[in-house]
Amino acid sequence: MTIAEPSWVSTIDADKLLENKKAAIYPKGLPVLLIKQGGRIHAISNKCAHMACPLAGGVLEDCIIRCPCHNWGFDIKTGEFLDAKEIKIQVYQTKLLEGKIYVKI
């Protein structure tokens, strides 16, 4: 089995994602959460590293998202779990092109 190289995938319209808001998307069928903060668009896994709860239902405070299930906090820039940085959720690169948000996945 070969693993495909990451490629840019077109997702939602950039103007659909408002500041301090989240959007759950499924590029290549994977659960990804887009978050806009400080004018930047972040893309992280939408599966908590603890027991895979969707982070889309979590609370966002600055650069930290808290899982709705057991309150684990992750840095949305690095994916690091706050209490043990060796535990991470996947983060993905994003870019804007012709009004669309692209995720490298």
Total interface residues for ligand FES by CB under 6 A:
8
Binding mask 73-102 for ligand FES (x = CB under 6 A): ------------------------------
Under 8 Å between Cβ of 10 and 105: no
Closest CA to 44 of 97, 85, 81, 3: 81
Q: Give least dist CB 82 to ligand FES, A.
A: 11
Based on the number of CB atoms within 10 Å of its own CB, is 34 exposed (0-12), middle (13-18) or buried (19 or more)?
buried
Q: Give least dist CB 28 to ligand FES, A.
A: 23
Q: Which is nearer to ligand FES, 41 or 49 (CB)?
A: 49
Closest CA to 45 of 4, 92, 84, 3: 92
Q: Give least dist CB 57 to ligand FES, A.
A: 10
Q: Which is nearer to ligand FES, 67 or 76 (CB)?
A: 67
List the interface residues with ligand FES, window 16-75 (CB under 6 A): 48, 50-51, 53, 67, 69-70, 72
Closest CA to 72 of 86, 60, 83: 83
